[in-house]
């Protein structure tokens, strides 16, 4: 469910912290992609050592406030809490982490010993920031090149403002100001730039994320009223936090897809005042990749769901979206590859749903052409890396995050970036054991 | 239903539960509410002669683990700021309204004449009993005597002397003496009380302590504008000390005991009685949870007596004393071990940590988070059962294989 941060001040946090059992080899920590020492920070907090608690969180999780606020905790740390087995609600770990980090946003310190090695990082999203912080801690000089005018990547662009307020990510980013990581904004990446970076720096890390979107194969995508979910989310967040008008979606909104982005879009549409929001998903609820917590949030807001449904046709009149025709799917008895196979159910007639907005959320992909820009082969949907070393086939070029793993969480991308940083540091060490620049 | 009435120093009580001398018993309307709730008696907050200057500095309260799970309450309270003549009015008022309930005057004097005057006034007002307080950490010194600076009840000779002073003045009603746990040998104090002629002993008074230091102001707590004094520590945490004192006293004198110190529920009360107390007094639990707990105290005690087959509470006094023995006489050499109920286990691993670092490294922690007892290494110390957060999950029992 929506994390209730407004009623979670010091008093509530302390009472909650006192419930923690401090498990051995804590399941919450094991379920955390960043392996945050949850019992440790909770103990320090309840022992009145707020700074120490913040230290423990940021040590494992440089985006501590962001993750505490927006992690799908019910499928991660809180989902693993043993208190559930005693019939109790899990410790509100996310809320505690968000509260502690917001109360004591410990400044990231410059590395004590800085080597001559320099690494360029492409993308200031969770993976890039995770990699940068970890490299910086290991004494490597880091420069981040970000395409946008602000850091955060997908996090600061599209996560709905009600789920991740602006100040949350700011808390995590402000603390990086004086640690020695240099951010460069509005930096477009092209083939020449990559080659330049690889020549100028000892290694390059690509945290480019999934900036592209899967396109539907329907005709009529050009029509007024047909949108991509990421565009809607970006516009809505920008309107909520800065300026500009929120997207005008009308009263009847259809969202196509069943992932996190689809549900975010549905929730945002509902919160923007749409009377009816329908999620059209081609499989059943069981297969829906969105988290249960998001489904419950959407459901409680009144979002409706049409399972086993697909868009057969987009009905357009004078370039304006009028309606969609919905076809029904059914499961084929035999399944292939673990996922149940679907086919069109011709016994159920196609029906028409009038609507004023149609939002497609069919999943993200690598940005068109990014492989070529990176100098990598184009035959895979994701960036190819050696699993242990995070190195791409192009020597000195490393990658992690959603561009490598596919759709994921902030915390997992950040952690992957940190893991890649350790490998990069090892790579630099092997290149030049004395720590100087090679070449 | 079992009979909860009890005789204490020849005075009948409707049940063994008495409100101890405290802020809860310094206001007659409040005490009346307590009696209406079902308390059998109340020891009015200790009072003195008007010549004694009493001035309380607030706040007076602090605690360990504040909140519903408070471990111990600490105070720098003093005796009542209302003197003996005013208290005597309360005694008259209460006795008129509550003839069945026992009104006990708690008195504190500094000289022989003080004691004579205090006892006389209290008895004339109609008090059922007198509790002589010679053990309050924030008082109970003797004026002009060699004991200046420490409690009367820390010295057997002075204890006997003051006991005699109080007894000398009384006409009919029983006098008993409340003593402190802050001594090396409480039995020598108890015997002095008995020698002095008191009809009973009340134990224990609060423990003298310093509950903590405020790390912002560096003032000990509770802080009165940056300063504090040594105070009296009470509540759950002092129960083991109180129980031991009651048992020690029960084994060393023949006069009855009013047990007090950390009683929160009927089980605590029963334990005091099983180790020799005839009545029990409650203070901190009432200060935290109100007079209403008396209904749970009497109900729990009554149900236990019924289920165990006693028809009179009087029958159980001291029943556990024969089972409290010297360590030398314990049955040695019998192998017991820890049994873990895997259906209840939640896999927290707290028993594993405790056994590994505080026991005999006899618990194995599996990759499935399940714990197993190493039968060879387990000595049955029982630490695991104490740290387990799940009730009844770990038990210590005879090794049967």
Interface test with A, best of B212, B345, B346 (most A CBs within 10 A): B346
**Phi, psi angles (nearest 5°) of residue A306:** -115, 105
Please indicate whether, in this complex, the C-beta atoms of A27 and B347 are within 8 angstroms of each other. Answer: yes
pLDDT at A114: 84
% of chain B surpassing 90 pLDDT: 94
Secondary structure letter of residue B203 according to DSSP: E
**Domain A118-211+366-431 = CATH 3.50.50.60:** yes
* Separation of alpha carbons A260 and A381, rounded Å: 20
Whether residue B17 contacts residue B282, with contact meaning beta carbons closer than 8 Å, is answered with: yes
Q: What share of chain A is helix, strand, coil (3-state, %, to 5)?
A: 40, 15, 45
Per-residue model confidence as pLDDT tens digits over B349-365 = 999 999 999 999 999 99
Span A152-183, pLDDT tens digits: 998 988 999 988 998 999 999 999 999 999 99
CB-hemisphere CA count at 13 Å for B12? 6
B349 touches chain A (CB under 8 A): yes
What integer pLDDT is reported at residue A437 of this predicted model?
A: 47
**Cβ pair B228, B210 in contact under 8 A:** yes
User: Of B136, B202, B378, B381, which one is the catalytic site residue?
Assistant: B136
Using the predicted structure, report yes or no on whether residue A262 has a pLDDT greater than 70: yes
From B388, which residue of chain A is nearest by alpha-carbon distance? A21
Asked whether the domain spanning A213-363 has the same topology as the one spanning A118-211+366-431, the reply is yes
Chain A partners within 8 Å of B349 (Cβ): 23-25
Cα(A134)–Cα(A422) distance, integer angstroms:
7
| Least confident window among A56-65, A238-247, B133-142 | B133-142
**Is the Cβ of B389 closer than 8 Å to some Cβ of chain A?**
yes
A25 CB neighbours in chain B (<8 A) are 349, 365, 369
Cross-chain residue pair A24–B346, CB shorter than 8 Å: no
CB contact under 8 A, B349 and A86: no
Choose from A20, A25, A47 for mutation: most chain B CBs within 10 A.
Answer: A25
pLDDT tens for A7-48 read 789 999 999 999 999 999 999 999 999 999 999 999 999 999
Place of tokens 């240099």: A182
Q: What structural domains does chain B harbor?
A: 6-323 (3.20.20.70), 331-398 (3.30.70.20)
Shortest alpha-carbon distance between residue B58 and chain A (Å):
25
Please choose, from the candidates A360, A361, A356, A353, the residue with its C-alpha nearest in 3D space to the C-alpha of residue A249.
A356
Q: Do A85 and B346 touch (CB under 8 A)?
A: yes
Cα distance between residue B21 and residue B106, in whole Å: 7
Whether A132 and A143 have beta carbons less than 8 Å apart is answered as: no
Q: Considering only CB atoms, which chain B residues are within 8 Å of A47?
A: none
Task: Write out the two tokens for B294.
Answer: 């008396």
Parallel/antiparallel/unpaired status of strands A351-354 and A320-331: antiparallel
CATH 3.50.50.60 fits A213-363, yes or no: yes
> Closest residue of A to B371, CA-based?
A24
Q: Is the peptide bond before B244 cis (omega within 30 degrees of 0)?
A: no
Quote ipTM for the complex. Answer: 0.84
* Confidence grade of residue B146 (pLDDT, cut at 50, 70, 90): low
d(CA A304, CA A241): 27
Tens-digit pLDDT profile for residues B167-192: 999 999 999 999 999 999 999 999 99
- Enumerate the residues of chain A whose CB falls inside 8 A of the CB of residue B215: 48
* Band of residue A439 on the pLDDT scale cut at 50, 70, 90: very low
* Distance (Å) from the alpha carbon of B365 to chain A's nearest alpha carbon: 9
CA distance A239 to A243: 5
Residue A53 near residue A45 (C-beta atoms within 8 A): yes
- Top-ranked range on mean pLDDT: pick from A332-341, A377-386, A410-419: A410-419
The string of pLDDT tens digits covering residues B275-329 is: 999 999 999 999 999 999 999 999 999 999 999 999 999 999 999 999 999 999 9
* CATH number, domain A10-103: 1.10.1060.10
Domain edges within chain A = 10-103, 118-211+366-431, 213-363
Q: Mean pLDDT over all residues of chain A?
A: 93
Q: Contacts of residue A28 in chain B, CB cutoff 8 Å?
A: none
Q: Is B370 on the interface with A (CB under 8 A)?
A: no
Mind giving me the DSSP string for B5-21? -EEETTEEESSSEEEPS
Of B215, B348, B352, Cβ closest to residue A21: B348
> Per the CB < 8 Å rule, is B350 touching A23?
yes
The model's pTM: 0.89
Mutate which of A24, A30, A31 to disrupt the B interface (most B C-beta within 10 Å)? A24
Per-residue model confidence as pLDDT tens digits over A306-324: 999 999 999 999 999 999 9
- Chain A contact present for B347, CB below 8 A: yes
Whether residue B124 is predicted with pLDDT greater than 90 in this model: the reply is yes
Tens digit of each residue's pLDDT (9 = 90 or more) over A252-261: 999 999 999 9
Active site residue B136: yes
| pLDDT level of residue A438 (50, 70, 90 thresholds) | very low
């Amino acid at each position: 469910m929506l994390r209730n941060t407004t009623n979670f001040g010091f008093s509530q946090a302390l009472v909650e912290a006192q419930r923690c059992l401090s498990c051995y080899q804590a399941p919450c920590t094991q379920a955390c992609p960043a392996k945050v020492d949850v019992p440790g920070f909770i103990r320090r907090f309840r022992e009145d050592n707020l700074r120490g608690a913040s230290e423990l969180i940021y040590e494992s999780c440089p985006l501590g406030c962001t993750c505490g606020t927006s992690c799908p905790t019910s499928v991660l740390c809180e989902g693993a809490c043993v208190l559930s087995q005693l019939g109790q609600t899990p410790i509100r770990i996310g809320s505690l982490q968000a509260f502690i980090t917001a109360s004591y946003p410990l400044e990231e310190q410059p590395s004590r010993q800085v080597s001559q090695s320099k690494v360029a990082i492409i993308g200031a999203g969770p993976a890039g920031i995770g990699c940068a912080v970890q490299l910086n801690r290991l004494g490597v000089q880091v420069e981040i090149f970000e395409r946008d005018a602000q850091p955060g990547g997908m996090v600061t662009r599209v996560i709905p403002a009600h789920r991740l307020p602006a100040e949350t990510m700011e808390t995590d980013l402000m603390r990086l100001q004086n640690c020695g990581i240099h951010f460069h904004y509005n930096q477009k990446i092209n083939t020449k730039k990559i080659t330049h970076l690889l020549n100028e720096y000892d290694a390059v890390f690509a945290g480019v994320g999934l900036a592209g979107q899967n396109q539907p194969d329907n005709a009529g995508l050009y029509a007024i009223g047909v949108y991509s979910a990421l565009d809607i989310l970006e516009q809505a967040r920008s309107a909520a936090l800065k300026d500009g008008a929120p997207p005008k979606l009308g009263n009847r909104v259809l969202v196509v897809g069943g992932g996190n982005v689809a549900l975010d879009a549905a929730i945002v549409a509902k919160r923007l005042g749409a009377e009816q929001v329908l999620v059209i998903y081609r499989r059943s609820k069981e297969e829906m990749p969105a988290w249960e917590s998001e489904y419950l949030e959407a459901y409680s807001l009144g979002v409706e769901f049409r399972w086993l449904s697909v868009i057969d046709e987009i009905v357009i009149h004078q370039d304006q979206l009028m309606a969609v025709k919905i076809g029904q799917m059914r499961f084929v008895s035999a399944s292939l590859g673990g996922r149940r196979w679907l086919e069109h159910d011709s016994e159920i007639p196609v029906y028409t749903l009038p609507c004023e907005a149609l939002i497609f959320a069919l999943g993200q992909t690598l940005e068109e052409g990014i492989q070529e820009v990176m100098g990598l082969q184009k035959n895979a949907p994701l960036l190819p890396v050696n699993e242990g070393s995070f190195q791409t086939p192009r020597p000195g070029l490393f990658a992690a995050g959603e561009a490598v793993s596919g759709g994921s969480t902030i915390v997992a991308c950040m952690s992957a970036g940190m893991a890649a940083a350790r490998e990069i540091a090892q790579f630099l060490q092997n290149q030049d054991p004395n720590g100087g620049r090679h070449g | 239903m079992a009979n909860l009435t009890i005789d204490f120093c020849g005075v009948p009580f409707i049940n063994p539960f008495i409100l101890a001398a405290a802020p809860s018993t310094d206001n007659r309307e409040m005490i009346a509410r307590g009696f209406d709730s079902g308390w059998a008696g109340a020891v009015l907050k200790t009072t003195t002669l008007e010549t004694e200057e009493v001035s309380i500095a607030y706040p007076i309260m602090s605690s360990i683990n504040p909140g519903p799970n408070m471990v111990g309450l600490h105070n720098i309270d003093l005796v009542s700021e209302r003197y003996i003549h005013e208290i005597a009015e309360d005694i008259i008022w209460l006795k008129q309204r509550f003839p069945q309930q026992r009104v006990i005057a708690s008195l504190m004097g500094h000289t022989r004449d003080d004691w004579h005057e205090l006892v006389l006034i209290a008895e004339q007002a109609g008090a059922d009993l007198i509790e002589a307080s010679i053990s309050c950490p924030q008082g109970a010194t003797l004026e002009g005597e060699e004991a200046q600076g420490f409690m009367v009840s820390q010295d057997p000779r002075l204890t006997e002397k003051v006991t005699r002073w109080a007894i000398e003045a009384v006409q009919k009603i029983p006098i008993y003496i409340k003593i402190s746990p802050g001594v090396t040998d409480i039995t020598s104090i108890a015997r002095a009380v008995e020698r002095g002629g008191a009809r009973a002993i009340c134990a224990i008074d609060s423990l003298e302590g310093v509950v903590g230091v405020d790390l912002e102001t560096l003032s000990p707590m509770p802080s009165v504008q940056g300063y504090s004094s040594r105070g009296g520590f009470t509540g759950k945490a002092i129960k083991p000390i109180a129980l031991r004192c009651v048992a020690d006293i029960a084994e060393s004198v023949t006069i009855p005991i009013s047990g007090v110190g950390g009683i929160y529920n009927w089980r605590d009360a029963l334990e005091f009685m099983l180790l020799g107390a005839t009545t029990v007094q409650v203070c901190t639990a009432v200060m935290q949870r109100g007079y209403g707990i008396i209904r749970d105290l009497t109900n729990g005690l009554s149900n236990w007596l019924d289920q165990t087959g006693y028809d009179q509470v009087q029958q159980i006094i001291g029943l556990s004393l024969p089972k409290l023995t010297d360590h030398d006489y314990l049955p040695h050499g019998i192998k017991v071990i820890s049994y873990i109920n895997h259906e209840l286990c939640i896999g927290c691993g707290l028993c594993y940590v405790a056994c590994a670092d505080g026991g005999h490294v006899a618990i194995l922690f599996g990759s499935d988070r399940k714990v197993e007892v190493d039968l060879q290494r387990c000595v049955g110390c029982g630490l695991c059962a104490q740290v387990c957060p799940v009730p009844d999950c770990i038990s210590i029992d005879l090794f049967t294989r």
